[in-house]
A and B are shown apart, each in its own frame.
Chain A
Amino acid sequence: MPRGYAGKFLDIDLSKDKIKDTTFDDEILRNYVGGRGLAAKILWDRLGKKWEKVDPLGPENLFLALTGPLTAIHPGARICASGKSPQCNGIIGSTASAEFPSELKCAGYDGVIVSGKAKSPVYILVTDDKAEIMDAKHVWGKEAPETIKILTKEVRGLLEERNPNAGKFKDPGIIYCGPAGENRVRTAAVMMKISHAAGYGGYGAVMGSKNLKAIVAKGRKPLPDVASPGAVRLLWHEVDRQIMRRDRTWPGLWGTGYGGYTVGASSSSEPVRNWQDEWHDEKSFGGPKFDYRYWVKRYWSDFNCSGACMKLAVIKTGPYKGTFTDNPDYELEAYLGPNLGVFDPGECIYLSALVDYLGYSGINGPNTFAFAAELYQRGILTKDDLGFELKWGDVNAFEALARKIVKREGIGDVLAEGTYRAALKISEMKGVDVTKYAVHVKGVEIGAHGTRSGQDIRPAAYACSPQCGDHTSVVSDAYRDMGMVFLDSAVICSFVSGRGLLWDYYRAVTGWDTTQEEWNRTLGHRIIHIQRAALLLGGPDIVWDPAIHDDNPPRYYEPLPSGPYKGQTTDRKTVEEMKQEYYEAIGWDERGIPESEVLKKLGLEDVDKALDRLRK
């Protein structure tokens, strides 16, 4: 087993109550590393042959929670959640940070692969080289704070009882799905702590569909050995020094809160009222308004990191007294603030906490809320449909909507399918085409970065991405954008990866001779091609046609109505040109399907064979 890895993966079939350890060849690990890369490989190997028939919310789908070789050994440890995505029917690697990945590695496992479906709600407890399936009926339906409280107390008690001489146990690491995931809402996230979410992809719903409430890990073993301990120690200190040296305005150190809140005003690419506008006056809703009134802890690092990107926000007075959450960071500030017509920091924090407690992805969930609100604004959805008035900025109405979707009541059942699927259904119900108001790329709701002003994300960056609307992994040139694929595969945070030291770090940990050049030209491409093949094969409910769906949402072609970039919009010709340039650079044909010889050269014959089904 190569260095940096704990050595084995848990392979759990919930239908049969079977737990076994599994390993992968060195060659597979060297090529696919871990996290997103390895997830693509595992999913393709196990489900590739029948990909179109696999229901993402059925028992045949897999739920993966994988670490990578750098996780917990490089600052900024994360876990990568994956599976066949219920949003895009492809493969998305979605990461979030907390204690869980480190605990999992210390328990002797690099990842958990879950298949099947449990008969009743369960959680998986991973302790030193051992895993067991535990009953979770008592936490099913519980919101985030309660879930964590109950599971932490229970697991600590159990471990102390089993190990009477080991003293007090610290809190275990937990990943779980909220009520949204349990009810298979397609915008549900895999949650950690109270407010850390692996949002894109809708893997909370995959957990829910398997009756899997949580995975709890507590390890007492040391972290895995590294190939070159002296070098890793030096590199750790250097990366740490780099992080600490950055000044306060750098979001990598201080988070995208505060400074990041000015995106709407500076680059005019922030969603306002379901992207009807992308600009607002920042003074009414800027960083200081959050900082002085709500942040009780300003400089707060996550486990295994020195970048103080977290803030603890607490509402101390008023109707939302007692609400607490992390930050909110820029994405949630935008999506639960201006995007819902909310311009009061307290209300934004309240809604931000609400979506976390309910287990929504803070980007995808609120995108659907705003979509519904726009339909109400246009008179397509009425009070009769919703049961209440849904006006912009009405916090109580949005709270009611969020809860309605979680319970799948009435129209909530339709909206629980995510923005695009809901748009298709509502178009059918009402006889009006509402898909033009849905802001998504291939079923994945887009992050809070628009393309119209030309100051933020590039025109074709979402359109060609195998991660669809994911703003953290957009495409540019099939070379430099492989960097993000690597971070998701080594599973560390993009904010704190050592500048210029990452590859030395990787080699020092694993002992492999992989170079950045090799990754950017070959290894990264393999992962992208598998993700692309899965995305194009899609199914069973929706299949994407690259000619139509490799595009921005229609809203991104409407001119900006206000702000410094008023009148500007995404140029359709530029999108088409850049799309074709990207296809050529990555090795896809003019229709966007990976070319046969490119795949064969990379040793992906089985992917090539599967894609023959599309080439005809």
Chain B
Amino acid sequence: MKIRVRAFGELMALLGKESTVELRDEARFKDLVFTLAEKTGSAKKGFLGRYNVTGPNLVILLNGRNIHALEKLDTALKDGDVVTLLPPVVGG
């Protein structure tokens, strides 16, 4: 199945503004993270760039909903899903 990935901030440089990731059927969110981590060349397990995927800084949306409000890394994906990666911003 194909998943569309939108990235912002620092992750935009690593993943591009918008990209498509091909995954096996019945893949879960952690499979996508694994694929993206390979793409971004993350050295640490569970990290995208310098952000911990389950940590408090990176906001990850699946079709506009936070994956923490769903089933976190076990969330099931389906063809045509849109994943958005939002690194933190600092106001002033």
A residues neighboring B (CB under 8 Å): 251, 256, 260, 267, 329-331, 447-449, 454-458, 471-472, 476-480, 494, 499-500, 520-521, 571, 574, 577-578, 580-582, 584-585
- Known A-B contacts A479-B68, A479-B69, A578-B84; the reply to A260 vs B61 at CB < 8 A is no
Question: Chain B contacts of A447 at CB under 8 A?
Answer: 91
Q: How large is the interface on B (under 10, 10 to 19, 20 to 34, 35 or more residues)?
A: 20 to 34
Restricting to B1-55, which residues have a CB under 8 Å from any CB of A? 6, 8-10, 12, 17-18
Check A256–B92 contact: CB distance below 8 A: yes
CA distance A256 to B92 in the complex (A): 5
Check A480–B68 contact: CB distance below 8 A: yes
Check B56–A472 contact: CB distance below 8 A: no
Question: Chain A contacts of B61 at CB under 8 A?
Answer: 476-477, 581
Q: Could you list 12 A-B pairs, sorted by A, with CB under 8 Å?
A: A251-B90, A260-B90, A329-B92, A448-B92, A454-B9, A457-B89, A472-B91, A476-B59, A476-B66, A477-B64, A500-B56, A580-B64
- Known A-B contacts A455-B8, A520-B69, A578-B84; the reply to A471 vs B63 at CB < 8 A is no
- Quick check: is B82 within 8 A (CB to CB) of the other chain? yes
CA distance A577 to B82 in the complex (A): 10
Check B89–A477 contact: CB distance below 8 A: no
- Quick check: is B73 within 8 A (CB to CB) of the other chain? no
CA distance A494 to B10 in the complex (A): 22
- Known A-B contacts A479-B66, A581-B64; the reply to A456 vs B89 at CB < 8 A is yes
CA distance A12 to B42 in the complex (A): 59
Question: Chain B contacts of A577 at CB under 8 A?
Answer: 82
Nearest-neighbour CB distance to chain A for B88, whole angstroms, equals: 10
CA distance A329 to B69 in the complex (A): 35
Check A574–B91 contact: CB distance below 8 A: no
Check B8–A477 contact: CB distance below 8 A: no
Question: Chain B contacts of A458 at CB under 8 A?
Answer: 8, 86
Check A480–B63 contact: CB distance below 8 A: no
Given contacts A256-B90, A448-B92, A478-B66, 18 further A-B contacts (CB under 8 A): A260-B90, A260-B92, A329-B92, A447-B91, A454-B9, A455-B8, A455-B9, A456-B9, A458-B86, A471-B91, A476-B66, A476-B86, A477-B59, A477-B61, A477-B65, A571-B17, A581-B61, A585-B64
Residue of A nearest to B69 (CB): A479
* Interchain Cβ contacts within 8 Å, total number: 73
Residue of B nearest to A250 (CB): B90
Check B66–A480 contact: CB distance below 8 A: yes
Check A581–B82 contact: CB distance below 8 A: yes
Residue of B nearest to A447 (CB): B91
Question: Chain B contacts of A330 at CB under 8 A?
Answer: 92
Residue of B nearest to A261 (CB): B92
Check A479–B65 contact: CB distance below 8 A: yes
Residue of A nearest to B7 (CB): A454
Nearest-neighbour CB distance to chain B for A498, whole angstroms, equals: 12
CA distance A580 to B66 in the complex (A): 15
CA distance A494 to B89 in the complex (A): 12
Check A578–B69 contact: CB distance below 8 A: no
C-beta contact mask, B60-92 vs A, less than 8 Å → 1, else 0? Answer: 010111101100000000000010101001111
Residue of A nearest to B13 (CB): A455
Nearest-neighbour CB distance to chain B for A255, whole angstroms, equals: 8
CA distance A260 to B90 in the complex (A): 9
Question: Chain A contacts of B65 at CB under 8 A?
Answer: 477-479, 581, 585
Question: Chain B contacts of A267 at CB under 8 A?
Answer: 9
Check B89–A584 contact: CB distance below 8 A: no
CA distance A500 to B57 in the complex (A): 12
Question: Chain A contacts of B17 at CB under 8 A?
Answer: 454, 571
Question: Chain A contacts of B90 at CB under 8 A?
Answer: 251, 256, 260
Check A251–B92 contact: CB distance below 8 A: yes
Question: Chain A contacts of B12 at CB under 8 A?
Answer: 454-455
Question: Chain B contacts of A457 at CB under 8 A?
Answer: 89
Q: Which of B10, B56, B66, B91 touches A477 (beta carbons < 8 Å)?
A: B66
Nearest-neighbour CB distance to chain B for A455, whole angstroms, equals: 5
CA distance A477 to B66 in the complex (A): 6
Residue of B nearest to A334 (CB): B92
Nearest-neighbour CB distance to chain B for A375, whole angstroms, equals: 27
Question: Chain B contacts of A471 at CB under 8 A?
Answer: 91
CA distance A454 to B6 in the complex (A): 11
Residue of B nearest to A483 (CB): B56
Question: Chain B contacts of A571 at CB under 8 A?
Answer: 17
Residue of B nearest to A251 (CB): B90
Nearest-neighbour CB distance to chain A for B9, whole angstroms, equals: 5
Check B64–A584 contact: CB distance below 8 A: yes
Nearest-neighbour CB distance to chain A for B41, whole angstroms, equals: 20
- Known A-B contacts A454-B17, A577-B82; the reply to A331 vs B92 at CB < 8 A is yes
CA distance A591 to B9 in the complex (A): 29
List the 7 closest pairs (A to B, CB-CB), nearest first.
A581-B64, A256-B92, A330-B92, A479-B66, A477-B66, A479-B69, A585-B64
Question: Chain B contacts of A521 at CB under 8 A?
Answer: 69
Question: Chain A contacts of B9 at CB under 8 A?
Answer: 267, 454-456
Nearest-neighbour CB distance to chain A for B53, whole angstroms, equals: 14
Question: Chain A contacts of B91 at CB under 8 A?
Answer: 256, 447, 449, 471-472, 494
Interface centre among B61, B68, B91 (most CB of A within 10 A): B91
Nearest-neighbour CB distance to chain B for A484, whole angstroms, equals: 10
Residue of B nearest to A257 (CB): B92
CA distance A508 to B91 in the complex (A): 28
CA distance A499 to B56 in the complex (A): 9
Question: Chain B contacts of A499 at CB under 8 A?
Answer: 56
Residue of A nearest to B12 (CB): A454
Residue of A nearest to B89 (CB): A456
Residue of B nearest to A477 (CB): B66
Nearest-neighbour CB distance to chain B for A287, whole angstroms, equals: 13
Question: Chain B contacts of A578 at CB under 8 A?
Answer: 64, 84
Question: Chain A contacts of B63 at CB under 8 A?
Answer: 581, 584
Question: Chain B contacts of A479 at CB under 8 A?
Answer: 65-66, 68-69
Question: Chain B contacts of A329 at CB under 8 A?
Answer: 92
CA distance A479 to B62 in the complex (A): 12
CA distance A330 to B69 in the complex (A): 33
Nearest-neighbour CB distance to chain A for B86, whole angstroms, equals: 6
Nearest-neighbour CB distance to chain A for B52, whole angstroms, equals: 13
Nearest-neighbour CB distance to chain B for A503, whole angstroms, equals: 12
Question: Chain B contacts of A582 at CB under 8 A?
Answer: 64
Question: Chain B contacts of A584 at CB under 8 A?
Answer: 63-64
Nearest-neighbour CB distance to chain A for B8, whole angstroms, equals: 5
